[in-house]
A and B are shown apart, each in its own frame.
Chain A
Amino acid sequence: MIELRDVTKVFPAAKKGSGAAAPAVDGVSLTVERGSVFGVVGHSGAGKSTLLRLVNYLETPTSGTVLVDGQDLGALGERRRREVRRSIGMVFQQFNLFRSRTVLGNVAYPLRLSGLGRAEARERAGEALRFVGLDAHARRYPEQLSGGQRQRVGIARALATEPGVLLCDEATSALDPRTTGEVLDLLRRVHGELGVTIVLITHEMEVVRSLCDHVAVMAAGKVVESGGVHDVFSRPAHPVTETFVRSALHDVPDAATLDRLRARHPGRLVTVPVGGGEDLSRLFREHDVDFTIAHAGVTEVQDRTLGGVTFALRGAERDVAAVLARLTAGEEVVAR
Protein backbone atom coordinates (compact mmCIF):
# COMPACT_ATOMS: atom_id res chain seq x y z
CA MET A 1 0.00 0.00 0.00
CA ILE A 2 2.82 2.38 0.96
CA GLU A 3 6.37 1.73 -0.04
CA LEU A 4 9.45 3.85 0.53
CA ARG A 5 12.51 2.91 -1.49
CA ASP A 6 15.85 4.24 -0.31
CA VAL A 7 14.34 7.62 0.57
CA THR A 8 16.64 10.41 1.74
CA LYS A 9 15.72 13.94 2.76
CA VAL A 10 18.36 16.58 3.30
CA PHE A 11 17.20 20.03 4.34
CA PRO A 12 19.24 22.86 2.93
CA ALA A 13 21.64 24.33 5.48
CA ALA A 14 20.14 27.29 7.35
CA LYS A 15 23.09 29.50 6.51
CA LYS A 16 25.10 29.41 3.34
CA GLY A 17 28.57 28.00 3.76
CA SER A 18 27.80 26.14 6.97
CA GLY A 19 28.33 22.90 5.06
CA ALA A 20 25.93 20.10 4.21
CA ALA A 21 23.50 19.30 7.01
CA ALA A 22 23.09 15.70 8.17
CA PRO A 23 20.14 14.13 6.34
CA ALA A 24 16.89 14.16 8.34
CA VAL A 25 15.94 10.89 6.68
CA ASP A 26 18.80 8.74 5.46
CA GLY A 27 18.21 5.97 2.96
CA VAL A 28 15.01 4.57 4.45
CA SER A 29 13.20 1.69 2.80
CA LEU A 30 10.04 0.26 4.26
CA THR A 31 6.72 -1.23 3.24
CA VAL A 32 3.37 -0.75 4.94
CA GLU A 33 0.87 -3.44 4.05
CA ARG A 34 -2.79 -2.60 3.54
CA GLY A 35 -4.76 -2.98 6.75
CA SER A 36 -1.80 -2.86 9.10
CA VAL A 37 -1.06 -0.45 11.92
CA PHE A 38 2.52 0.60 11.39
CA GLY A 39 4.39 2.42 14.13
CA VAL A 40 7.57 4.43 13.67
CA VAL A 41 9.27 5.07 16.96
CA GLY A 42 12.31 7.16 17.74
CA HIS A 43 13.64 9.91 19.95
CA SER A 44 12.95 13.51 18.97
CA GLY A 45 15.16 14.54 16.08
CA ALA A 46 15.41 10.98 14.77
CA GLY A 47 13.64 11.99 11.56
CA LYS A 48 10.23 10.40 12.09
CA SER A 49 8.22 13.59 11.48
CA THR A 50 10.03 14.16 8.20
CA LEU A 51 9.55 10.51 7.26
CA LEU A 52 5.80 10.80 7.79
CA ARG A 53 5.64 13.93 5.63
CA LEU A 54 7.46 12.15 2.84
CA VAL A 55 4.64 9.60 2.66
CA ASN A 56 2.13 12.21 1.44
CA TYR A 57 4.81 14.34 -0.19
CA LEU A 58 4.30 17.33 2.09
CA GLU A 59 8.08 17.10 2.01
CA THR A 60 9.77 16.27 -1.26
CA PRO A 61 12.48 13.62 -0.90
CA THR A 62 15.98 14.58 -1.96
CA SER A 63 16.33 11.12 -3.46
CA GLY A 64 14.46 7.84 -3.47
CA THR A 65 10.95 6.78 -4.39
CA VAL A 66 7.62 7.00 -2.55
CA LEU A 67 4.90 4.68 -3.80
CA VAL A 68 1.30 4.89 -2.64
CA ASP A 69 -0.98 2.22 -4.09
CA GLY A 70 1.72 1.55 -6.65
CA GLN A 71 1.80 5.19 -7.82
CA ASP A 72 5.17 6.92 -7.75
CA LEU A 73 4.33 10.27 -6.15
CA GLY A 74 7.51 11.81 -7.51
CA ALA A 75 6.38 11.09 -11.07
CA LEU A 76 3.03 12.82 -10.57
CA GLY A 77 2.35 16.50 -11.14
CA GLU A 78 1.45 18.67 -8.16
CA ARG A 79 -2.22 18.63 -9.13
CA ARG A 80 -2.42 14.83 -9.22
CA ARG A 81 -0.44 14.71 -5.99
CA ARG A 82 -3.10 16.82 -4.29
CA GLU A 83 -5.69 14.24 -5.32
CA VAL A 84 -3.56 11.49 -3.79
CA ARG A 85 -3.31 13.52 -0.57
CA ARG A 86 -7.11 13.54 -0.40
CA SER A 87 -6.96 9.76 -0.06
CA ILE A 88 -4.51 10.02 2.86
CA GLY A 89 -5.79 11.49 6.12
CA MET A 90 -3.42 13.14 8.57
CA VAL A 91 -3.71 14.06 12.25
CA PHE A 92 -1.28 16.18 14.21
CA GLN A 93 0.20 16.45 17.66
CA GLN A 94 -1.12 20.01 18.06
CA PHE A 95 -4.42 19.10 16.31
CA ASN A 96 -4.05 22.02 13.84
CA LEU A 97 -7.79 22.73 13.76
CA PHE A 98 -9.04 25.90 12.06
CA ARG A 99 -9.92 28.33 14.83
CA SER A 100 -12.09 30.35 12.47
CA ARG A 101 -14.36 27.40 11.73
CA THR A 102 -16.79 25.47 13.88
CA VAL A 103 -16.20 21.81 14.66
CA LEU A 104 -18.57 20.92 11.80
CA GLY A 105 -16.88 23.45 9.53
CA ASN A 106 -13.49 21.90 10.27
CA VAL A 107 -14.67 18.42 9.37
CA ALA A 108 -16.56 19.66 6.29
CA TYR A 109 -13.50 21.51 4.95
CA PRO A 110 -11.75 18.54 3.28
CA LEU A 111 -15.09 17.43 1.84
CA ARG A 112 -15.58 20.85 0.27
CA LEU A 113 -12.03 20.56 -1.09
CA SER A 114 -12.93 17.31 -2.75
CA GLY A 115 -15.75 19.10 -4.56
CA LEU A 116 -18.84 18.24 -2.51
CA GLY A 117 -21.64 20.78 -2.22
CA ARG A 118 -22.20 22.61 1.04
CA ALA A 119 -25.19 20.57 2.18
CA GLU A 120 -23.68 17.20 1.35
CA ALA A 121 -20.37 18.14 2.93
CA ARG A 122 -22.12 19.11 6.15
CA GLU A 123 -24.09 15.88 6.18
CA ARG A 124 -21.00 13.73 5.66
CA ALA A 125 -19.12 15.80 8.25
CA GLY A 126 -21.95 15.11 10.68
CA GLU A 127 -21.54 11.39 10.11
CA ALA A 128 -17.80 11.59 10.75
CA LEU A 129 -18.47 13.51 13.97
CA ARG A 130 -20.95 10.85 15.05
CA PHE A 131 -18.25 8.21 14.56
CA VAL A 132 -15.93 10.01 16.98
CA GLY A 133 -18.82 10.75 19.35
CA LEU A 134 -18.78 14.53 19.03
CA ASP A 135 -21.90 15.27 16.97
CA ALA A 136 -23.33 17.16 19.94
CA HIS A 137 -20.45 19.65 19.67
CA ALA A 138 -20.82 20.35 15.94
CA ARG A 139 -21.62 24.03 16.36
CA ARG A 140 -18.88 24.76 18.86
CA TYR A 141 -15.50 26.23 18.10
CA PRO A 142 -12.26 24.27 18.71
CA GLU A 143 -11.17 26.48 21.62
CA GLN A 144 -14.32 25.45 23.49
CA LEU A 145 -13.23 21.79 23.50
CA SER A 146 -10.77 19.82 25.62
CA GLY A 147 -7.53 18.50 24.15
CA GLY A 148 -8.88 14.99 23.71
CA GLN A 149 -12.04 16.28 22.04
CA ARG A 150 -9.96 18.44 19.72
CA GLN A 151 -7.91 15.45 18.65
CA ARG A 152 -11.10 13.50 18.00
CA VAL A 153 -12.28 16.37 15.78
CA GLY A 154 -8.89 16.18 14.05
CA ILE A 155 -9.43 12.47 13.46
CA ALA A 156 -12.99 13.06 12.19
CA ARG A 157 -11.63 15.71 9.82
CA ALA A 158 -8.92 13.38 8.57
CA LEU A 159 -11.44 10.57 8.02
CA ALA A 160 -14.25 12.64 6.49
CA THR A 161 -13.19 11.91 2.92
CA GLU A 162 -12.97 8.19 3.76
CA PRO A 163 -9.24 7.82 3.07
CA GLY A 164 -7.59 4.42 2.95
CA VAL A 165 -4.64 5.57 5.04
CA LEU A 166 -4.37 7.67 8.17
CA LEU A 167 -1.05 9.27 9.09
CA CYS A 168 -0.72 10.14 12.78
CA ASP A 169 1.97 12.61 13.80
CA GLU A 170 2.46 12.09 17.55
CA ALA A 171 -1.33 12.12 17.82
CA THR A 172 -1.37 11.48 21.57
CA SER A 173 1.78 13.28 22.70
CA ALA A 174 -0.01 16.47 23.74
CA LEU A 175 -2.60 14.57 25.79
CA ASP A 176 -2.76 13.32 29.36
CA PRO A 177 -2.68 9.53 29.97
CA ARG A 178 -6.45 9.05 30.23
CA THR A 179 -7.21 11.05 27.11
CA THR A 180 -4.38 9.24 25.35
CA GLY A 181 -6.22 6.00 26.11
CA GLU A 182 -9.45 7.38 24.61
CA VAL A 183 -7.72 8.50 21.43
CA LEU A 184 -5.92 5.15 21.11
CA ASP A 185 -9.27 3.37 21.52
CA LEU A 186 -10.67 5.55 18.77
CA LEU A 187 -7.74 4.77 16.47
CA ARG A 188 -8.28 1.07 17.19
CA ARG A 189 -11.89 1.51 16.00
CA VAL A 190 -10.70 3.41 12.92
CA HIS A 191 -8.57 0.40 12.07
CA GLY A 192 -11.03 -2.28 13.14
CA GLU A 193 -14.36 -0.88 11.96
CA LEU A 194 -13.31 1.21 8.98
CA GLY A 195 -10.35 -0.93 7.89
CA VAL A 196 -8.11 2.11 7.55
CA THR A 197 -4.37 1.48 7.31
CA ILE A 198 -2.60 3.53 9.99
CA VAL A 199 0.95 4.85 9.99
CA LEU A 200 1.80 6.53 13.25
CA ILE A 201 4.94 8.08 14.61
CA THR A 202 5.56 8.35 18.31
CA HIS A 203 8.28 8.50 20.92
CA GLU A 204 6.18 6.38 23.27
CA MET A 205 6.77 2.66 22.90
CA GLU A 206 3.61 2.13 24.94
CA VAL A 207 1.57 3.47 21.99
CA VAL A 208 3.29 1.00 19.66
CA ARG A 209 2.70 -1.85 22.11
CA SER A 210 -1.00 -1.19 22.50
CA LEU A 211 -1.89 -0.33 18.90
CA CYS A 212 0.59 -1.45 16.26
CA ASP A 213 1.28 -4.73 14.51
CA HIS A 214 4.48 -3.55 12.80
CA VAL A 215 7.15 -1.21 14.04
CA ALA A 216 10.20 0.53 12.65
CA VAL A 217 12.73 2.07 15.01
CA MET A 218 14.50 5.21 13.83
CA ALA A 219 17.74 6.78 15.00
CA ALA A 220 19.68 9.56 13.29
CA GLY A 221 17.55 9.39 10.14
CA LYS A 222 17.92 5.66 9.63
CA VAL A 223 15.60 2.75 10.34
CA VAL A 224 17.77 0.67 12.66
CA GLU A 225 15.31 -2.14 13.20
CA SER A 226 11.86 -3.13 11.99
CA GLY A 227 9.49 -6.05 12.08
CA GLY A 228 6.42 -7.45 13.76
CA VAL A 229 5.74 -5.80 17.08
CA HIS A 230 5.88 -9.03 19.07
CA ASP A 231 9.16 -10.08 17.48
CA VAL A 232 10.80 -6.72 18.07
CA PHE A 233 9.54 -6.59 21.66
CA SER A 234 10.73 -10.08 22.49
CA ARG A 235 14.10 -9.84 20.70
CA PRO A 236 15.24 -6.23 20.34
CA ALA A 237 18.53 -6.26 18.42
CA HIS A 238 19.63 -2.62 18.30
CA PRO A 239 20.52 -0.74 21.52
CA VAL A 240 18.03 2.05 20.71
CA THR A 241 15.29 -0.53 20.23
CA GLU A 242 16.29 -2.16 23.48
CA THR A 243 15.82 1.14 25.35
CA PHE A 244 12.39 1.66 23.83
CA VAL A 245 11.28 -1.91 24.52
CA ARG A 246 12.44 -1.72 28.15
CA SER A 247 10.47 1.54 28.56
CA ALA A 248 7.26 -0.28 27.65
CA LEU A 249 7.90 -3.68 29.20
CA HIS A 250 9.64 -2.94 32.53
CA ASP A 251 10.64 -6.60 32.42
CA VAL A 252 14.22 -5.99 33.50
CA PRO A 253 14.88 -3.75 36.52
CA ASP A 254 16.70 -0.55 35.55
CA ALA A 255 19.96 0.50 37.21
CA ALA A 256 18.33 2.41 40.08
CA THR A 257 15.88 -0.38 40.83
CA LEU A 258 18.70 -2.89 40.68
CA ASP A 259 20.67 -1.01 43.34
CA ARG A 260 17.62 -1.00 45.57
CA LEU A 261 17.05 -4.74 45.00
CA ARG A 262 20.69 -5.55 45.75
CA ALA A 263 20.48 -3.74 49.06
CA ARG A 264 17.47 -5.79 50.05
CA HIS A 265 18.41 -9.18 48.57
CA PRO A 266 21.85 -10.55 49.46
CA GLY A 267 21.89 -13.36 46.83
CA ARG A 268 22.61 -13.33 43.10
CA LEU A 269 19.90 -11.66 41.00
CA VAL A 270 18.80 -13.23 37.74
CA THR A 271 16.04 -12.13 35.37
CA VAL A 272 14.24 -14.86 33.47
CA PRO A 273 11.68 -14.17 30.72
CA VAL A 274 8.17 -15.45 31.32
CA GLY A 275 6.96 -18.32 29.18
CA GLY A 276 10.49 -19.60 28.56
CA GLY A 277 9.46 -23.23 28.97
CA GLU A 278 12.24 -24.09 31.43
CA ASP A 279 11.04 -25.88 34.58
CA LEU A 280 12.57 -23.54 37.08
CA SER A 281 11.32 -25.23 40.24
CA ARG A 282 13.04 -28.48 39.23
CA LEU A 283 16.23 -26.62 38.30
CA PHE A 284 16.38 -24.85 41.64
CA ARG A 285 15.54 -28.06 43.52
CA GLU A 286 18.18 -30.11 41.66
CA HIS A 287 20.92 -27.70 42.66
CA ASP A 288 19.55 -27.07 46.12
CA VAL A 289 19.18 -23.33 45.50
CA ASP A 290 16.54 -21.24 47.25
CA PHE A 291 14.95 -18.22 45.64
CA THR A 292 12.68 -15.28 46.27
CA ILE A 293 10.98 -13.17 43.61
CA ALA A 294 12.60 -9.74 43.76
CA HIS A 295 11.02 -8.02 40.78
CA ALA A 296 8.65 -8.72 37.88
CA GLY A 297 7.25 -6.87 34.87
CA VAL A 298 4.68 -8.45 32.57
CA THR A 299 2.78 -6.94 29.62
CA GLU A 300 0.49 -8.10 26.85
CA VAL A 301 1.93 -7.54 23.39
CA GLN A 302 -0.32 -8.45 20.46
CA ASP A 303 -2.32 -10.82 22.66
CA ARG A 304 0.78 -12.58 23.91
CA THR A 305 2.46 -12.23 27.26
CA LEU A 306 5.90 -10.72 27.45
CA GLY A 307 7.90 -9.92 30.53
CA GLY A 308 10.50 -11.00 32.99
CA VAL A 309 10.77 -12.20 36.56
CA THR A 310 13.85 -11.38 38.63
CA PHE A 311 14.85 -13.99 41.20
CA ALA A 312 17.23 -13.55 44.12
CA LEU A 313 19.12 -16.85 44.45
CA ARG A 314 20.56 -18.16 47.70
CA GLY A 315 22.70 -21.23 48.16
CA ALA A 316 26.27 -22.52 48.00
CA GLU A 317 28.33 -20.48 45.56
CA ARG A 318 29.03 -23.50 43.37
CA ASP A 319 25.33 -24.43 43.17
CA VAL A 320 24.23 -20.90 42.29
CA ALA A 321 26.89 -20.76 39.56
CA ALA A 322 25.59 -24.05 38.15
CA VAL A 323 22.03 -22.70 38.03
CA LEU A 324 23.21 -19.50 36.35
CA ALA A 325 25.13 -21.50 33.76
CA ARG A 326 22.01 -23.48 32.90
CA LEU A 327 19.88 -20.32 32.69
CA THR A 328 22.28 -18.27 30.59
CA ALA A 329 22.54 -21.18 28.14
CA GLY A 330 19.09 -19.98 27.03
CA GLU A 331 19.94 -16.76 25.24
CA GLU A 332 17.14 -14.59 26.62
CA VAL A 333 18.25 -14.60 30.22
CA VAL A 334 19.73 -11.51 31.79
CA ALA A 335 22.01 -12.59 34.63
CA ARG A 336 23.54 -10.25 37.14
Chain B
Amino acid sequence: MKADWNTFWVKVVDATGETVYMVLVTLALSAVLGTAVGLALYATRKGGLLRSRAVFAVLSALVNVIRPVPFIIAIVALSPVTRGVVGTMIGTEAAIFPMTVVATFGVARIVESNLLSVEPGVIEAARSMGAGPLRVLLTVLVPEALGPLVLGFTFMLVALIDFSAVAGTVGGGGVGNLAMTYGYLRFDTSVMVVTVAVLVLLVQLAQLLGNFLARKVLRR
Protein backbone atom coordinates (compact mmCIF):
# COMPACT_ATOMS: atom_id res chain seq x y z
CA MET B 1 0.00 0.00 0.00
CA LYS B 2 1.49 3.29 -1.14
CA ALA B 3 1.17 6.51 0.82
CA ASP B 4 -1.89 8.62 0.08
CA TRP B 5 -0.38 12.10 -0.12
CA ASN B 6 -3.72 13.76 0.63
CA THR B 7 -3.28 12.62 4.24
CA PHE B 8 0.34 11.48 4.41
CA TRP B 9 1.85 14.98 4.42
CA VAL B 10 0.67 15.37 8.04
CA LYS B 11 2.99 12.49 8.96
CA VAL B 12 5.86 14.22 7.15
CA VAL B 13 5.27 17.47 9.03
CA ASP B 14 5.06 15.64 12.35
CA ALA B 15 8.20 13.65 11.59
CA THR B 16 10.05 16.82 10.59
CA GLY B 17 8.97 18.41 13.85
CA GLU B 18 10.31 15.40 15.77
CA THR B 19 13.61 15.57 13.94
CA VAL B 20 14.00 19.29 14.64
CA TYR B 21 13.10 18.69 18.29
CA MET B 22 15.62 15.85 18.66
CA VAL B 23 18.37 17.81 16.96
CA LEU B 24 17.83 21.05 18.87
CA VAL B 25 17.55 19.43 22.29
CA THR B 26 20.64 17.36 21.59
CA LEU B 27 22.53 20.40 20.32
CA ALA B 28 21.63 22.39 23.44
CA LEU B 29 22.65 19.59 25.80
CA SER B 30 25.82 18.63 23.96
CA ALA B 31 26.83 22.27 23.51
CA VAL B 32 26.76 22.84 27.27
CA LEU B 33 28.31 19.50 28.22
CA GLY B 34 30.73 19.39 25.31
CA THR B 35 31.95 22.94 25.91
CA ALA B 36 32.58 22.07 29.55
CA VAL B 37 34.53 18.93 28.59
CA GLY B 38 36.37 20.84 25.84
CA LEU B 39 37.38 23.62 28.23
CA ALA B 40 38.51 21.02 30.75
CA LEU B 41 40.55 19.20 28.10
CA TYR B 42 42.16 22.46 27.03
CA ALA B 43 42.89 23.69 30.53
CA THR B 44 44.23 20.47 32.02
CA ARG B 45 46.64 19.58 29.24
CA LYS B 46 50.39 19.85 29.76
CA GLY B 47 51.32 23.50 30.04
CA GLY B 48 47.65 24.47 30.37
CA LEU B 49 46.07 26.96 32.75
CA LEU B 50 44.88 24.31 35.22
CA ARG B 51 47.16 21.43 34.33
CA SER B 52 46.13 18.10 35.77
CA ARG B 53 47.55 14.96 34.27
CA ALA B 54 44.83 12.73 35.79
CA VAL B 55 41.83 14.76 34.60
CA PHE B 56 43.31 15.16 31.15
CA ALA B 57 44.09 11.45 30.83
CA VAL B 58 40.55 10.41 31.83
CA LEU B 59 38.80 12.91 29.56
CA SER B 60 41.12 12.26 26.66
CA ALA B 61 40.60 8.50 26.99
CA LEU B 62 36.81 8.96 27.06
CA VAL B 63 36.90 11.07 23.92
CA ASN B 64 39.16 8.61 22.16
CA VAL B 65 36.94 5.66 23.04
CA ILE B 66 33.62 7.23 22.13
CA ARG B 67 34.58 9.22 19.03
CA PRO B 68 35.61 6.40 16.69
CA VAL B 69 32.50 4.26 17.37
CA PRO B 70 30.08 4.50 14.42
CA PHE B 71 26.87 6.14 15.58
CA ILE B 72 24.64 3.18 14.70
CA ILE B 73 26.79 0.95 16.88
CA ALA B 74 26.83 3.55 19.67
CA ILE B 75 23.02 3.62 19.78
CA VAL B 76 22.83 -0.13 20.17
CA ALA B 77 25.75 -0.35 22.56
CA LEU B 78 24.34 2.43 24.76
CA SER B 79 20.80 1.07 24.71
CA PRO B 80 20.93 -0.56 28.17
CA VAL B 81 22.17 2.75 29.58
CA THR B 82 19.50 4.56 27.62
CA ARG B 83 16.83 2.36 29.13
CA GLY B 84 18.23 3.06 32.58
CA VAL B 85 18.34 6.83 32.09
CA VAL B 86 15.31 7.55 29.90
CA GLY B 87 13.17 4.56 30.85
CA THR B 88 12.65 3.35 27.29
CA MET B 89 14.68 2.40 24.24
CA ILE B 90 12.33 3.65 21.56
CA GLY B 91 11.00 7.04 20.59
CA THR B 92 12.36 10.55 20.35
CA GLU B 93 13.55 10.90 23.97
CA ALA B 94 15.34 7.56 23.75
CA ALA B 95 17.18 8.80 20.65
CA ILE B 96 18.26 12.03 22.34
CA PHE B 97 20.33 10.23 24.98
CA PRO B 98 22.85 8.41 22.75
CA MET B 99 22.92 11.38 20.38
CA THR B 100 23.84 13.66 23.28
CA VAL B 101 26.55 11.32 24.54
CA VAL B 102 28.23 11.05 21.16
CA ALA B 103 27.76 14.74 20.28
CA THR B 104 29.17 15.87 23.63
CA PHE B 105 32.53 14.34 22.86
CA GLY B 106 32.44 15.61 19.30
CA VAL B 107 31.80 19.14 20.59
CA ALA B 108 34.52 18.67 23.21
CA ARG B 109 37.17 18.06 20.53
CA ILE B 110 35.90 20.95 18.42
CA VAL B 111 36.06 23.30 21.41
CA GLU B 112 39.48 22.03 22.47
CA SER B 113 41.07 22.38 19.03
CA ASN B 114 39.61 25.84 18.46
CA LEU B 115 40.84 27.08 21.82
CA LEU B 116 44.29 25.74 21.00
CA SER B 117 44.34 27.97 17.92
CA VAL B 118 44.03 31.13 20.04
CA GLU B 119 47.33 33.02 20.19
CA PRO B 120 49.16 32.37 23.48
CA GLY B 121 50.05 36.07 23.57
CA VAL B 122 46.53 37.19 24.45
CA ILE B 123 46.41 34.64 27.27
CA GLU B 124 49.67 36.03 28.60
CA ALA B 125 48.30 39.57 28.31
CA ALA B 126 45.21 38.65 30.34
CA ARG B 127 47.37 36.90 32.94
CA SER B 128 49.61 39.95 33.19
CA MET B 129 46.50 41.97 34.08
CA GLY B 130 45.81 39.63 36.98
CA ALA B 131 43.16 37.39 35.40
CA GLY B 132 42.80 33.95 36.98
CA PRO B 133 42.57 30.74 34.92
CA LEU B 134 38.77 30.59 34.86
CA ARG B 135 38.55 34.27 33.90
CA VAL B 136 41.02 33.70 31.08
CA LEU B 137 39.05 30.70 29.79
CA LEU B 138 35.66 32.37 29.80
CA THR B 139 36.43 36.02 29.04
CA VAL B 140 39.40 35.66 26.71
CA LEU B 141 39.66 32.24 25.10
CA VAL B 142 35.99 31.62 24.33
CA PRO B 143 35.34 35.08 22.85
CA GLU B 144 38.61 34.98 20.87
CA ALA B 145 37.72 31.58 19.38
CA LEU B 146 34.02 32.32 18.90
CA GLY B 147 34.06 32.59 15.10
CA PRO B 148 35.58 29.15 14.45
CA LEU B 149 33.53 27.78 17.36
CA VAL B 150 30.29 28.85 15.66
CA LEU B 151 31.42 27.08 12.49
CA GLY B 152 32.33 24.03 14.55
CA PHE B 153 28.89 24.00 16.16
CA THR B 154 27.32 24.28 12.72
CA PHE B 155 29.30 21.24 11.65
CA MET B 156 27.94 19.45 14.74
CA LEU B 157 24.39 20.57 13.95
CA VAL B 158 24.61 19.07 10.46
CA ALA B 159 26.08 15.88 11.90
CA LEU B 160 23.18 15.76 14.38
CA ILE B 161 20.62 15.86 11.56
CA ASP B 162 22.46 12.88 10.13
CA PHE B 163 22.49 11.19 13.58
CA SER B 164 18.76 11.80 14.02
CA ALA B 165 18.00 10.05 10.75
CA VAL B 166 20.11 7.08 11.85
CA ALA B 167 18.34 7.08 15.23
CA GLY B 168 15.05 7.10 13.34
CA THR B 169 15.84 3.84 11.64
CA VAL B 170 16.18 2.04 14.97
CA GLY B 171 12.96 3.36 16.46
CA GLY B 172 13.96 6.92 17.25
CA GLY B 173 11.12 8.67 15.43
CA GLY B 174 11.49 11.62 13.08
CA VAL B 175 12.16 11.79 9.36
CA GLY B 176 14.56 8.84 9.48
CA ASN B 177 11.86 6.62 10.93
CA LEU B 178 9.46 7.71 8.21
CA ALA B 179 11.96 6.97 5.47
CA MET B 180 12.64 3.56 6.98
CA THR B 181 9.11 2.34 7.68
CA TYR B 182 7.35 3.77 4.63
CA GLY B 183 10.04 4.45 2.08
CA TYR B 184 12.28 1.43 2.60
CA LEU B 185 10.11 -1.33 4.07
CA ARG B 186 7.17 -0.58 1.72
CA PHE B 187 9.29 0.31 -1.33
CA ASP B 188 7.50 3.67 -1.60
CA THR B 189 9.79 5.82 -3.72
CA SER B 190 7.71 9.00 -3.27
CA VAL B 191 8.20 8.87 0.54
CA MET B 192 11.92 8.25 0.07
CA VAL B 193 12.26 11.27 -2.23
CA VAL B 194 10.30 13.54 0.11
CA THR B 195 12.22 12.51 3.24
CA VAL B 196 15.56 12.97 1.51
CA ALA B 197 14.39 16.39 0.35
CA VAL B 198 13.38 17.32 3.90
CA LEU B 199 16.79 16.25 5.25
CA VAL B 200 18.65 18.18 2.57
CA LEU B 201 16.54 21.24 3.33
CA LEU B 202 17.21 21.00 7.06
CA VAL B 203 20.95 20.69 6.49
CA GLN B 204 20.91 23.69 4.16
CA LEU B 205 19.06 25.78 6.72
CA ALA B 206 21.47 24.77 9.46
CA GLN B 207 24.50 25.62 7.32
CA LEU B 208 23.07 28.98 6.25
CA LEU B 209 22.31 29.91 9.84
CA GLY B 210 25.78 28.86 10.98
CA ASN B 211 27.53 30.76 8.22
CA PHE B 212 25.47 33.85 8.95
CA LEU B 213 26.29 33.77 12.67
CA ALA B 214 29.98 33.10 12.03
CA ARG B 215 30.15 36.05 9.63
CA LYS B 216 28.57 38.26 12.27
CA VAL B 217 31.03 37.14 14.93
CA LEU B 218 34.04 37.43 12.63
CA ARG B 219 32.85 40.78 11.22
CA ARG B 220 33.58 39.64 7.67
Contacts and interface: CB of A to CB of B under 8 A. Distances in A.
Nearest to A112: B139
B87 interface: no
B121 interface: yes
Interface string A238-262: 0000000000000000000000000
Of B122, B126, B130, B131, most buried by chain A (CB within 10 Å of CB) is: B130
Interface in A49-99: 56, 58, 78-79, 82-86, 88-90, 92, 94, 96-99
A94 B120 CA distance: 11
B128 A56 contact: yes
A82 B124 contact: no
B127 A58 contact: yes
Given A98-B143, A100-B146, A110 B129 contact: yes
A137 interface: no
Contacts of B122: 96-99
Interface string B85-125: 00000000000000000000000000000000001011011
B118 to A, nearest CB: 9
Contacts, number: 60
B98 to A, nearest CB: 35
Contacts of A89: 128
Contacts of A94: 119, 121
Contact of A96 (B119, B139, B143): B119
B216 interface: no
Given A96-B119, A96-B122, A113-B135, A85 B128 contact: yes
A114 B128 CA distance: 12
A38 interface: no
A233 interface: no
A284 interface: no
Nearest to B121: A96
Interface residues of A, number: 28
B148 to A, nearest CB: 12
A85 B127 contact: yes
Given A82-B132, A94-B121, A100 B143 contact: yes
Nearest to B219: A141
B124 A110 contact: no
Contact of A85 (B119, B129, B143, B219): B129
Contacts of B121: 92, 94, 96
A101 interface: yes
B144 interface: yes
B105 to A, nearest CB: 26
B144 A82 contact: no
Contacts of B135: 113
A311 interface: no
Contacts of B125: 90, 92, 96-98, 157
Interface of B: 119, 121-122, 124-132, 135, 139-140, 143-144, 146, 219
Interface of A: 56, 58, 78-79, 82-86, 88-90, 92, 94, 96-101, 109-110, 113-114, 141, 157, 161, 167
